[in-house]
Amino acid sequence: MSASARKKALIGGASFNKNYLEPMEYSDHENISNASDGFWGSQVERNWGSVAWSSYGSILEKLEQQFPQTLSLAVKEVNPEFSLVEMPVFALGYNWSASNDDSGKYAADKITEWVAKAKQRAEDIGAQCPGAIVLTHSMGGLVARSAAMIHGVAGDIFAVLHTVMPTDGAATAYKRFHFGFEHPEFSIFSPIDGAFERAGYVVLGRQGQLVTSILGHMPGGQELLPNKRYKDNSGKAQWLTVQNPERNWAVRWMSDDEPFIELPKSNPYTEIYRREDRMYRAANPDWLFPEGMEDLPQHTAPFDYFIDINRKAEKYHDKIAAAGDFHEVTYLCYSDDPGLKTYDRVDWESAKPLGSWGRDVSEKDVSADRTDDYRREDLLWGSEEDKEISGGWVGTDFKIASASGAGDMTVPASAGRFVAGVPKSRRTGHKNGYMHEPALKAGIVETWVKDTMVDVLGKCTLY
């Protein structure tokens, strides 16, 4: 069995099943307490064990142990009638492989249950509960939006705070379908950190073949691809290009350096992802079923299966937009750090064979049947620059230009810059930013969470 087949079997099974990866509800582990905290029970009973402790443990502990006293004093200064009586902190893990529509329904049920309990508690002790303040990280923002706007719990939510949310997807997701996760930089100043990054890069999928064999089957993964409203960091909707060869100075000069292809015109799903006949499609069909097609006789071709999943991803984004997109009290923060190079766009660079001076790219050059040889970088000493699609001796080679946008190395700054449904005053970009996964451990993000909660609670109208 190939590495792709083994990894796919472990993470997703032969074909997608939204129940294959289930959240570990109310689970116990060494980092959380089983000791009851009065009415609200233990951390286990508040579902802390359902999330990755390495990413979220710090913020959970601070929300429970440090924030209440600080918030109570700060809010009283702007809202003298306010008193913070109790602030139970719950956690909610979810199935990242499933559609955010399904995960949103799951989250909505939990929010309904927990808020009902909180409101009953408030009534019993003569207090008031305005609803839940929902704090999200990354893809969790898509889940929370689904819960609020599609599955009807907006009324149980007082405010939503999003951190590093891929609001309309991320170009990085598209790049990873082709060339896998980014090769970590090696530093002699932090060899231990570099070793951990390198291990993560290998485990998560250093090759497009590994990533496609997993995310190609998962609605949740495909919902991270840029949607119809996605913009790059300059605000441009055409985030994918195929460039003419750099040495083709004549054509580039005459065209004012305009790319050969600039997409999408309106719909990336039909113009990019589902163009099976083009090398810039999202998924290589040869990579989707490394274990073979025997278990899926109902599908005549691998790419048909990918199309079915991709349509579900498109449907989710259309559905959330039609429902209003964001809770009416939404705040978000994002990394706008130019030093954390992020793919806000994808520029395919082309190289013609020797002797082809003056030639530009043609439709046949981007044909999928001419560009099926993917070259990968050396595991230890390679770089992103080494990854390319080879057109052979007479074809055209393509590689993706290095990431150059501001962001958190996964989600670009445009995810926070261009959000029509959230007022600018409620969107905070941090120039001295942070990497994506550990964002909620960054001091500047913790401060933003605390200050935003003060702002939210300071405007709380008692009834």
For residue 401, tell me if it sits in a domain: no
Write down the pLDDT at residue 299. Answer: 56
Answer yes or no: is pLDDT of 219 > 80.
Answer: yes
Instruction: Please state, in angstroms and as integers, the Cα–Cα distance from residue 399 to each residue in 175, 347, 348, 371, following that order.
Output: 10, 8, 6, 11
List of residues 6+ apart from 80 with CB closer than 8 A: none
For residue 56, tell me if it sits in a domain: yes
For residue 103, tell me if it sits in a domain: yes
- The 8-class DSSP code of residue 341 comes to E
Q: Which residues of 256-273 are buried (b: 16+ CB within 10 A; e: fewer)?
A: eeebbbbbbeeebbebbb
How many domains does the structure of the chain reveal?
A: 1
For residue 237, tell me if it sits in a domain: no
Write down the pLDDT at residue 380. Answer: 57
With pLDDT > 90 as the criterion, what percentage of the chain qualifies?
Answer: 62
With pLDDT > 70 as the criterion, what percentage of the chain qualifies?
Answer: 81
For residue 267, tell me if it sits in a domain: no
Structure tokens at 328: 């009416």
The mean of the pLDDT values for the chain is 86
Tell me the one-letter amino acid at 183.
Answer: H
- pLDDT tens digit string along 356-383? 555 577 788 888 877 777 776 655 566 7
Of residues 394 and 218, which shows the higher confidence score? Answer: 218
- pLDDT tens digit string along 240-294? 999 887 655 555 566 566 888 999 999 999 999 999 999 999 999 989 887 666 6
For residue 363, tell me if it sits in a domain: no
Answer yes or no: is pLDDT of 384 > 90.
Answer: no
Structure tokens at 31: 């980092």
pLDDT bucket at 193, cuts 50 / 70 / 90: very low
For residue 35, tell me if it sits in a domain: yes
Other CB atoms closer than 10 Å to residue 363's CB: what's the count? 10
Instruction: Please state, in angstroms and as integers, the Cα–Cα distance from residue 433 to each residue in 197, 336, 411, 442, following that order.
Output: 18, 6, 12, 9
Contact yes or no for 197/184 (Cβ under 8 A): yes
Write down the pLDDT at residue 414. Answer: 99
List of residues 6+ apart from 153 with CB closer than 8 A: 108, 111, 112, 115, 147
Average pLDDT for 390-397 = 78
Domain that holds residue 44: 10-169+410-458
Report helix angle 443-458 to 67-78, nearest 10: 40
Average pLDDT for 220-247 = 94
For residue 88, tell me if it sits in a domain: yes
- pLDDT tens digit string along 7-56? 545 555 555 555 656 777 878 888 888 888 789 999 999 999 999 998 99
Contact yes or no for 334/415 (Cβ under 8 A): yes
pLDDT bucket at 463, cuts 50 / 70 / 90: low
What is the rounded (10 degree) CA torsion for 437, 440, 442, 443? 180
Tell me the one-letter amino acid at 139.
Answer: M
pTM of the predicted protein model: 0.90
Write down the pLDDT at residue 186. Answer: 47
Answer yes or no: is pLDDT of 192 > 50.
Answer: no
